Chain A
Amino acid sequence: MSSGTVTPYRSGLRTGRDGFAQLVRAEWTKFRTVRGWLIGMMVAALVIVLLGLLSASGSQTSCGGPSDVCPAVPVGPGGEAVEDKFYFVHRSLAGDGGITVRMTSMTGQIRLPDITPGTRRVVPGVEPWAKAGVMIKDGTRQGSAYAATMITGGHGVRMQHDFTEDVAGRPGGVSAASPRWLRLTRSGEELTGYESADGAHWTKVGTARLAGLPATVQVGLFVASPGDLTVKQTDLGGSTVQNRFAEATAAFDQVSLEGKVSGGAWSRDDIGVTREPDGSPHHPGGVVESGGTFTVTGVGDIAPLADGQTIESTLTGVLTGLIVVIVVAVMFITSEHRRGLIRTSLLASPRRGRVLAAKAVVIAAVTFVAGLAGAGVVVPLGTWILRAGGNYVLPVSLLTESRVVVGVAALLAVAAVFALALGALFRRSAAAVTAAIAAIVLPHILATASVLPAGAAQWLLRLTPAAGFAIQQSIPEYPQVIGHYVPQAGYYPLAPWAGFAVLCGYAVLALGLAVFMLRRRDV
């Protein structure tokens, strides 16, 4: 047969499209046609749900007392749990107006642990975040909207509102020798704080907009002092936290009010004071008025609350689920290398980077769906079980809850891409799985298991791919609230999306390197 007489073959087949979408579809077909991988993803979702529900149902809290009902925790205007406990000397203000005072002293005392049992050991001292100043508040209900200008024990003048917001004024304390003036005015929904050293030259500290503030509000003087928080490092990198009673006392004079203020005596409210079983107040505050000078003593704090369980405490299964995801993601590529199937893949798409990219899209999408199913069930259901068990779960907005659920799904998805890239680089399952677990799972365990000092734990969660776990933190860290903000307590050193971005960076880097190597190598 001579080639000269032959008509070359022409196919009657209609040529299909040659795009990235076709590759993604092919990779999805590959994934869904291996039953073990599908089952693996379902197991990951199931592990997240079951481990979470198991730990949630194992957690019970009882407050004792005749009714065995825990006291209600006030909620701030933003929906967050708050501590709203202070001594308030106030009057009603209808419409616009304001208050101006001079503060001449701020003192306090702290009760240290008894050395001789039965003998109280009380030392003078003011907590750094003890607060005294002027406030305009929507009534006396705990958790209602407010704005306040204040002097703090150690952080100078501040303007705070609605529990979470804090603006710094000038630093420094107050004494009889150097008194300080504070002013707070209302104009509609806008409240403005000022300070002055002499009552003549005023400096604006900040402005707060309190949406929906009613026409009549309470205006007056307040004092509060949070407990004394002491953190002791223990031998193994853990720590113990002690909180001791503290109170603050401030002297105000030259009190002047503007606007339509109610007449008669000042109202006095020990807002949020703890009651003894017989109804008497425990650690009450108080006020002494003499010759226009008000000496007010207060206990407590006006701040977001961090005591309680968080919605992410239902996510105990994520780490185990992640390991399953890592194994599946690694196998998705290493099984091709092991059997030479990668050659078939590259024959179908000689543009090699696109093959890995399509694989990454598929594994990310599949993992995201599995993660969303797992977290989407366990977070609301686990929280419900926790609350049914008498536990106090710190409330968060729907937006935050969604971010936690979607974030965990995204965390798993990006970790899967990272594991896939390691699989492409190592081309061996065992090595790639080990590397992925060492990079993501291990640092998180080390950082949260009280084996490392807090500083080291925080650096691990800044620098390693485990930084991505920050996405599940629902309660933020507030600089104006003293707390033990360490990974062991669920506080990540990076903001949720910043931590997630670190993980994404690692995934992009690993995938880029994998594409580079795949392009260079003979397969």
Chain B
Amino acid sequence: MEATIEVIGLRKRFGRTMALDGMSFRVTPGQVTGFVGPNGAGKSTTMRVILGLDAADEGTALVGGRPYPSLRNPLSHVGALLDAAALQPSRTGRNHLLWLAHSQGLPARRVDEVIEQVGLRSAARRKAGGYSLGMRQRLGIAAALLGDPPVLMLDEPVNGLDPEGIVWIRGLLRSLAAEGRAVLISSHLMSELQDTADHLVVVGRGRVVADTSVADLIATASSGRVTLRTTARSEAMTALAHAGATVAAGDRDTITVSGLEAERIVTLLNANAVPFSEVAAHRATLEEAYMDLTRDAVEFRAATGVTTGTATGVTTGTATGAAAGQEAAR
């Protein structure tokens, strides 16, 4: 069985709301795929449809080429974490894993292995009702790993984890992917995925907005812009425009240049003896790229009674601010 998730043209309507509107993507083995989009974009619904919990009105969702409900020992095909709070509070964490193991014909030994793997040994024999959110996440991940499945699907796994836990889960997810598993993790915050995901499926309004590698997405959003600070603005603009760049005057003594590498700009300015105080290559963050992509989805939700122009202005402003913050941090 190939370790994949395939989602083809899912549509689902809840009353008057189109929750899924032609959702299609594919999760490949050996990498962490981030499933990202604003709240309400259809991430959780898609996951529930993949897992056979919700029925789609249209389309198919396959795990390893088969619909989930037809799987035998499903937990050894897909491990899923949907809601870490879905626990019987008076049952211990270990016993929660034990009944799951029994349902798959797995031995109790396997339960102790996954408890060890997620670092829950000290709490395993305590009642799950007393667990912190982070411990519940670990227990949920242990449940997902129980059947040692080639496909993992985790809904907002970073939620509620402390910084140490976040570092741990990133390492775990990367190592699981490195073993050749297909790992799909959802989040509504791109920053959570920044250092974890290799590939991104960005969704908005129930469909895929972008299906791309993280590197490609950042490159697209950056589009090679350079900011130049100079007291001789007109000379600089003339010199750079001559060399084929697109230039735009910014506020006071700045110019935004696109179409030229930063090194080439420095060489050109020196050759023309134009003084400058700063040349900064502008590199977009994942967050910025994500904002660009999901702007439509955000607009759609903010659009009632607001003109498109205003919404765009707000979004652009936010992106610029984020970029400035990023640079200041460097």
The interface of chain A, by Cβ under 8 A from chain B, is 1, 3, 5-13, 15-19, 22-23, 25-27, 29-30, 33-36, 335-336, 339-341, 343-351, 522-523
Do residues B103 and A22 form an inter-chain contact, with CB atoms below 8 A? Answer: yes
Contacts of B102 in A (CB 8 A): 22, 25-26, 29
Smallest Cβ-Cβ distance to A352: which chain B residue: B69
**8 A Cβ contacts from B95-145 to A:** 95-96, 98-100, 102-107, 110, 143
Q: Judging by beta carbons under 8 Å apart, are B105 and A339 in contact?
A: no
Given contacts A18-B73, A30-B99, contact A13 B148 (CB under 8 A): yes
* CB–CB B99/A11 < 8 A: no
B198, A1: Cβ atoms closer than 8 Å: yes
A341 and B87 form a contact (CB under 8 A)? yes
Does B86 lie at the interface of the complex (its beta carbon under 8 Å from any beta carbon of A)?
yes
Q: Across the interface, do B181 and A9 meet the contact criterion of CB distance under 8 Å?
A: yes
Is there contact, CB below 8 Å, between B149 and A11?
Answer: yes
Q: List 20 A-B contacts (CB under 8 A).
A: A6-B29, A7-B30, A9-B3, A9-B181, A13-B147, A16-B76, A16-B104, A16-B107, A22-B104, A22-B105, A33-B92, A339-B86, A339-B88, A344-B86, A347-B75, A349-B74, A349-B103, A350-B69, A522-B53, A522-B54
B157 at the interface (CB under 8 A from A): no
Contacts of B98 in A (CB 8 A): 29, 33
B146 to chain A minimum Cβ distance, whole angstroms, is: 9
CB of A522 within 8 A of CB of B48, answer: yes
**Chain B contact residues, CB within 8 Å of chain A:** 2-3, 28-31, 48, 51-55, 68-76, 80, 82-83, 85-92, 95-96, 98-100, 102-107, 110, 143, 147-150, 177, 179-182, 198
Task: Please indicate the chain B residues that have their CB under 8 angstroms from the CB of A350 in the complex.
Answer: 52, 68-71, 74
Chain A's closest residue to B176 (CB) is A9
Bound-state CA distance A27–B70 (Å) is 21
Alpha-carbon distance A25/B106, docked complex (angstroms): 11
When C-beta atoms are compared, the residue in chain A nearest to B179 turns out to be A9
Give Cα A15 to B71, complex, Å. Answer: 13
B99→A33 contact, CB < 8 A: yes
Bound together, the chains give a CA A6 to CA B88 distance in angstroms of 39
A344 touches B143 (CB 8 A): yes
| Cross-chain contact B150 with A347 (CB below 8 angstroms) | no
Which residues of the other chain, A, contact B69 by a CB distance below 8 angstroms? Answer: 350-351
Let me know if B99 and A339 touch, CB within 8 A.
no
Question: B99–A26 contact, CB under 8 A?
Answer: yes
Whether A18 and B92, one on each chain, are in contact in the complex, defined by CB atoms closer than 8 angstroms, is: no
Q: Interface majority SS on B: helix, strand, loop or mixed?
A: loop
Closest to A32 in B: B95
Q: How far is the CA of A348 from the CA of B149 in the complex (A)?
A: 13
**A9-B106 contact, Cβ under 8 Å, with A36-B90, A346-B52, A522-B48:** no
Smallest distance from the beta carbon of A342 to chain B beta carbons, Å?
A: 8
Q: A9-B179, A11-B76, A347-B53 are in contact. List 10 more A-B contacts (CB 8 A).
A: A1-B31, A8-B2, A8-B182, A15-B105, A19-B105, A30-B91, A33-B96, A343-B83, A346-B52, A347-B75
Q: Shortest Cβ distance from A321 into chain B, in angstroms? A: 22
User: Contacts A3-B31, A13-B76, A350-B71: A343 and B180 contacting too (C-beta < 8 A)?
Assistant: no
Decide: A34 and B88 in contact? CB cutoff 8 A: yes
Query: Residue of B at shortest CB range from A12?
Result: B148
Structural contact, B110 and A13, CB atoms closer than 8 A: yes
Q: Tell me the bound Cα distance from A245 to B69 in angstroms.
A: 75
CB proximity of B96 to chain A, nearest CB, Å: 8
Q: Are B180 and A341 in contact (CB under 8 A)?
A: no
Residue in B3, B55, B103, B107 whose CB lies within 8 Å of A8: B3
Partner of B30, one of A1, A25, A344, A346: A1
Residues in A neighbouring B85, C-beta threshold 8 A: 339-340
In whole angstroms, what is the CA distance A361 to B4 when docked? 36
Q: How far is the CA of A523 from the CA of B69 in the complex (A)?
A: 14
Q: Which residues of B contact A336 (CB under 8 A)?
A: 88
A339 to B91, CA, bound (A): 13
Contact flag A522-B147 (CB < 8 Å), given A347-B75, A350-B74, A351-B69: no
Chain B residues with Cβ below 8 Å from A340 are 82-83, 85-86
Find the B residue at minimum CB distance from A335.
Answer: B88
Report the 5 A-B pairs with minimum CB-CB distance, sorted nearest first. A16-B105, A6-B30, A26-B103, A3-B28, A33-B95
Min CB gap A134→B, angstroms: 70
Q: CA of A155 to CA of B30 in the docked complex: distance in angstroms?
A: 90
Q: Say yes or no: A34-B29 contact (C-beta < 8 A), given A11-B149, A18-B73.
A: no
B86-A341 in contact (CB<8A): yes
Q: Tell whether A341 pairs with B88 under 8 Å between CB atoms, given A8-B2, A523-B53.
A: yes
CA distance A350 to B50 in the complex (A): 12
User: Is the beta-carbon distance between B75 and A348 smaller than 8 angstroms?
Assistant: yes
Chain B positions within 8 Å of A345 at CB level: 103
Complex-state Cα separation, A30 to B95, whole angstroms: 8
Q: Is the CB of B29 within 8 A of A9?
A: yes
**Residue picked from B2, B80, B104, B143, most chain A C-beta under 10 Å:** B104
Query: CB-CB < 8 A to B28: which residues of A?
Result: 3, 6
* B149 and A343 contact, CB distance less than 8 A: no
**Bound: A274/B150 CA distance, A:** 88
On whether the beta carbons of B88 and A348 are closer than 8 Å, the reply is no
A34: contacting residue among B51, B91, B100, CB under 8 A: B91
Residues of B within 8 A of A15 (CB): 73, 76, 105
Shortest B33–chain A CB gap in Å is: 10
| Contacting pair B105 A18 (CB below 8 A) | yes
Q: For B86, what are the chain A residues with a Cβ–Cβ distance below 8 Å?
A: 339-341, 343-344
- Shortest distance in angstroms between A41's beta carbon and chain B's nearest beta carbon? 15
Closest Cβ of chain B to A27, distance in Å, is 8
A30 to B91 alpha-carbon distance, docked (Å)? 8
Chain A residue with Cβ nearest B28: A3
**Which residues in B have their C-beta under 8 angstroms from that of A33?**
91-92, 95-96, 98-99
Q: Cβ of A36: which chain B residues have Cβ within 8 Å of it?
A: 90
